[in-house]
Structure 1
Amino acid sequence: MDAKLPPYLHRQDGQLMFEQVPLSSLAREHGTPLFVYSRAAMLDALSAYQRGLAGRPHLICYAMKANANLAVIETLVRAGCGLDIVSGGELERALAAGCEPAKIIFSGVGKTRAEMRRALEAGIGCFNVESEAELDVLDAVACDMGVRAPVSIRVNPNVDAKTHPYISTGLKGNKFGIAHERVVDTYRHAAACRGLSVAGIDCHIGSQITDPGPYLDAMDRVLDLVEAIEAAGVPIRHVDFGGGLGIDYADDAPPAADHLWQLLLARMDARGHGHRKIFIEPGRSLVGNAGVCLTEVLYLKPGEHKNFLIVDAAMNDLPRPAMYEAYHRIVPLQPSPAEPRTWDVVGPVCESGDWLGRDRDLAVQPGDLLAVLSAGAYCMSMASNYNTRGRAAEVLVDGDRTRLIRQRESVADQLRLERGLS
């Protein structure tokens, strides 16, 4: 029935199980659309990074933009992770999840003065600075507070990550980082600022990367810069290689995290940099395959050119197909007596872009339940209330136990902050 299932998903007597829990029972209990995450799958993905970096000074910071649910964050923090944040809101979530401030890294191109001030008050570990202008503002804020801000400058190495253009971040045409040829001068400037303390160097080239080649190219360029920066008299304490490792959505073949880091560490050793502390910021590769979205079949709408299978999940729940034409496998939760047909799986939102899967061979009838796989990253974190649709509930599975970790959002929840004319 299933060509391939992510870890911890399996069939038992025809029923789709996540760890030891039948997903159909969760759909009945909590309704649909429903996101379900496996704690074991998250920890297993993290352990591959921990094995790959064992024996080296390092800090793994989960890029929480991938999935910012408190229970997800707490799961990874309790397993030893720091957190990579990109907003003041994420900083408050990180602190609420119990992350040590010194293990928080603040990335992102548009940090405000208020966000900088709050992060300095909290005592975060490092700011990944994205522009010279941001560097000067952070210096001014830190001086005004009478503190020094630890900084790592993000380098744009002009390396093609060979991924979707919307999630490529390391080319000259992208908005991220400081151009390769300006980096040494920028470090000289940072070292001269009274409110800044240079801590490291940062590079992140994109997301959903499945080829080790771009990582190795970026590492060589970053190490070239480290040598040039230190030759200019500015010491570098850590090297931050970002994240971006892909997962298997549609027969993708990314390297295992431990294998990837064997390659990268060997390159660092060969160039004489094996002593340096390594920071990394994985997101999707920790949580992407640890989540599914459950949805109910509402209607079947055969047509002359296309057959449409209309479900209750939509682009506001799973934005990736509409945004990136992304592929997610879609499988039934249990066998159906229906005959297989080829369907476009679409949602109820009033947009032609509201689709979850095209040309899928499925045997379904109204009332059947489906699972959209590999939905743990960049789905709920990007969900919206378009069409005044409430965001889905979320459940965490741990063996044979389950926990509701986010209640379904109601219309009353959405209207609470609005004010009418009367």
Structure 2
Amino acid sequence: MVGTSGNWSIEEAERIYGVSRWGGGYFHIGENGNIKITPNPSDPSVQIDFKAVIEEIHEEGVQLPVVVRFHDILRSQVANLNTHFRNTISEAEYQGEYHGVYPVKVNQMREVVEEVVDAGAPFNYGLEAGSKAELLTVLALNNNEDSLTVLNGYKDEEFMRLALLGRKLGRRMVVVVEKYSELLLLVRIAKELKIDPIIGVRAKMTVKGRGKWESSGGDRAKFGLSFAEIINTARYLKEHDMAHCFKLLHFHIGSQLTDIRSVKEAISEGGRIYAELHKMGFPLDYVDVGGGLGIDYDGTASTSESSRNYSMQEYVSDVVYGMKEMCDLEGVPHPNLVSESGRAITAHHSCVITEIMGEIKSNSAAIDTGPKDGEHYFVKNMREMISNFDQQTNMQELYNDASQYKEQALDAFKLSVLSLEELAKIETMYWEIMTRLQAYYAQAEYVPEELQELDFNLSSQYLCNFSVFQSAADTWAIDQLLPVVPISRLHERPEINCSLVDITCDSDGKIDQFSVGREITDVLPMHRLKANEPYYIGLFLTGAYQDVMGDMHNLFGRLNEVHIFSYDDDPQDFYIEEVVKGSSVEDVLSIMQYNPKAMAYDMKRLIDKQVSAGVIKPREGVRWTDFYEDCLSGYTYLKTAK
């Protein structure tokens, strides 16, 4: 994969890593080879050098790995979505308005939700909650009486009472009925409290999305009412003199929609349901088209599971014009439009920065393979293959022979026919042959199928100071592709093909799927590590779900966070607005029901016992006690030299 000839350029780096393709206008490669950030693409004069950000992080004494949040990007995405809807509604002469909501499940971090609320205030941009804890959160945070608060998910009596409390406070709390029994519960409590709710129903669509989450639609969908249940809901509300409370139709066909055709189909079906309800005497105010606005993680602008074949503008246009066309055809008013686009709002603003701690190679160790008296003929034969390599005309035969000798040598070792040293010689020579075959086939037009794995088998593994399970859970759980890029040295040719492994003691703690030059590969071109020079990489587009989904595998806790704001008057065009400390060892142990103070006391007692026995000197005992306590209060990740 990594080339060996020709000039290297920033354009070539862009071709391989695709930063501008997935960067959304916010990220690109600078002429100095560093990743650059444009927090507001409409003002390209403000450019932040990512390497300068890392240097300032070190100056602040913040230890890597770290989550870096660019709050200007978050605010920009809120404005982009709302502006696209406003402009398209005006151009289309659409009679309704846009009332978007941010689904807090995508990233519930307080700093994120507060920033979304503040950035969305001029647009009356609201919030969506799907659980009781999220409802408690949005009740406290969303105090804009002109914005919606949409309540999805399964609900109990306490949930309903909280929603009606919001109504009592003058808030536009829309309770979306996910199953018919919820309607009965809501009506009973509303009558008891004498509070009119705002009621929505979620339709179980026949249209399915495309991508990993296509099962969100269709007859087997987890949420939503069938067409018969929707009609029964409308009639039940009319019977109980609450038809005026029925205000919203909601549908959702899946997250990360890859194909714009599924959006068009959903709008067509949803618009038809809305029109029929209107004709039945239920003049709904809102149609909520749900989430699904995708992110181009791999930069291919395709229908692959990690991409999308449309832009934000195209998505908005299809929603607005599609609903307008259906309503005009049916002769019903245009409803106000609601969408729940969380991934598109948050993904770009956050990334994980970590340092490469070292390199793991299958063929890194070697021993002297010189001849010895009495050595086994397996060793001699392997040495002859190396000696005759340049005269070899059938490289595939050479590969087959070398592979067979290696397998036979291992069997012979198990039977005590070969010594450990002889086996090590054969292994060393085998990897030398494979390396030379790799170089040969790098220039060949045709590579036999069994030799196509040479690049992967000979690739390095770069050891990263982070936990996949904590900071990139989707890469492990659902094979979600995230862009991975070196932060600097992109003006240099990458010479190493590698995958990434984390510092957990789990073999699944790895990333081995990458977008390289519009293809998905199992290795990524990286630069050779240099002595005494740190090498930083970024996992980008982690702002959606990854921030809040991590577990504590091996007791690696939450990362340190750094919040960045752009500032044109600063020489570096940015400043660190806030540092949020990540989990200490004490924090994660306490969550797992350990008592760190008791542990420290027990360790001190054990050390004191050794001091009394004369095994440890008193001053040394104090140092060991302090060291143990310092480790308890320290970061859960590896310490690196600054």
TM over 0.5, shorter chain: yes
Shift of 1:199: 1.3
Moved more, 144-153 or 323-332: 144-153
1-structure distance, mates of 2:589, 2:166: 32
Aligned to 1:268: 323
SS of equivalent residue, structure 2 residue 543: coil
Aligned mates of 1:36, 1:303 — CA distance in 2:
33
Partner of 2:524: 360
- The one-letter code of the counterpart of 1:355 is K
1:324 matched to 2:372? The reply is no
1:31 partner letter? Q
- TM-fit CA distance, 1:290: 2.0
1:301 aligns with: 360
Structure 1 residues 209-257: Cα deviation after superposition (integer angstroms, max 9, x where no partner): 1322111111111122112222333221111111211111002423222
Corresponding residue for residue 27 of structure 2:
9
Contact 2:198-2:246 at 8 Å conserved across structures: yes
Counterparts of 1:339 and 1:266 in 2: how far apart (Å)?
A: 47
Amino acid at match of 1:53: F
The 5 Å alignment of 1:148-297 reads 148-165=196-213, 168-193=215-240, 197-253=245-301, 254=308, 255-271=310-326, 272=328, 275-297=334-356
Residue 555 of structure 2 is aligned to residue 388 of structure 1: yes
Counterpart code for 1:158: T
CA shift in 2, pair 1:154/1:102, >3 Å: farther
Q: Name the CA shift for 1:88/1:109 in 2 (closer, same or farther; >3 Å).
A: closer
CA distance in 2, matches of 1:35, 1:278: 34
Partner SS, residue 253 of structure 2: coil
Residue 48 of structure 1 pairs with residue 80 of structure 2: yes
**What is the aligned-residue RMSD (CA, Å)?**
2.7
User: Partner of 1:59: helix, strand, or coil?
Assistant: coil
Q: C-alpha separation between the residues in 2 aligned to 1:364 and 1:112?
A: 57
Kept in 2: contact 1:35–1:293 (CA 8 A): yes
> Does structure 2 conserve the Cα–Cα contact (< 8 Å) formed by 1:170 and 1:205?
yes
Contact 2:129/2:135 (8 A) holds in 1? yes
What is the one-letter code of the residue matched to 1:59? H
Contact (CA 8 Å) 1:59, 1:82: kept in 2 or not?
A: yes
> Which residue in 2 is equivalent to 1:341?
496
Change in CA separation of 1:142 and 1:395 when aligned onto 2, cut-off 3 Å: farther
- Residue 92 of structure 1 is matched in structure 2 by 136
Q: Flag the 1:412–1:162 CA change in 2: closer, same or farther, 3 A.
A: same
Cα distance between partner residues in 1 of 2:271 and 2:63: 51
Residue 397 of structure 1 aligns to a residue whose secondary structure is strand
Output the CA distance in 1 between the equivalents of 2:321 and 2:362: 56
2:100 aligned with 1:82, yes or no?
A: no
Give the structure with the larger strand fraction.
1
Contact 1:95 1:101 in 2 (8 A): no
- 1:348-404 deviations in Å (ceiling 9; x for gaps): 233333223432221253842110111111111212223221111222322112222
Distance 1:121 1:212 in 2: 39
Output aligned runs, 1:11-30, within 5 Å.
Answer: 11-12=29-30, 13-19=32-38, 20-22=48-50, 23-25=53-55, 27-28=57-58, 29=60, 30=62
The reply to whether residue 397 of structure 1 matches residue 602 of structure 2 is: no
Return the offset for 1:96.
4.4
Farther-moved stretch of structure 1 (71-80 vs 276-285): 71-80
Q: 1:259 to 1:43 in 2, by over 3 A?
A: farther
Cross-structure match for 2:464: 311
| Aligned mates of 1:192, 1:21 — CA distance in 2 | 63
1:109 counterpart letter in structure 2: G
Paired AA for residue 318 in structure 1? A
- CA change 1:396–1:148 in 2 (3 A) is same
Aligned residues: 421
Quote the Cα distance in structure 1 between the aligned partners of 2:250 and 2:238: 16
Distance 1:61-1:341 versus aligned 2 partners, 3 A rule? same
Q: Separation in 2 of the partners of 1:46 and 1:274?
A: 27
Residue in structure 2 matched with residue 103 of structure 1 by the alignment: 147
C-alpha spacing 1:126/1:353, structure 2 compared with 1 (3 Å)? same
Match of 1:38 in 2: 70
Equivalent position amino acid for 1:136 in 2: L
Tell me which moved more, 288-297 or 229-238.
229-238
8 A contact 1:105–1:128 mirrored in 2: no
Q: Which runs of 5+ in 2 are unaligned?
A: 1-12, 39-47, 91-95, 302-307, 364-456, 514-522, 567-573, 599-642
Q: What's the CA shift for 1:406?
A: 3.2
Match of 2:177 among 108, 118, 129: 129
Name the stretch that deviates more: 78-87 or 30-39.
30-39
Question: Shift of the alpha carbon at 1:195?
Answer: 7.3
Structure 1: runs of 5+ lacking an equivalent:
none
Shift of 1:26: 5.2
Q: Does the 8 Å contact 2:127/2:142 carry over to 1?
A: no
Q: CA deviation at 1:261?
A: 1.7
Moved more, 376-385 or 109-118: 109-118
Deviation at 1:59, TM superposition (A): 0.7
Segment drifting more, 183-192 vs 277-286: 183-192
Residues 413 and 144 from structure 1, CA distance in 2 versus in 1: closer, same or farther, beyond 3 angstroms?
Answer: farther
Larger-Rg structure:
2
3-state SS, counterpart of residue 260 of structure 1: helix
Determine helix, strand or coil for the equivalent of 1:156.
coil
Any idea what SS the aligned residue of 2:482 has? coil
TM-score under structure 2 length normalisation: 0.61
In 1, Cα distance between equivalents of 2:548 and 2:585: 19
Aligned-residue sequence identity (percent) comes to 21
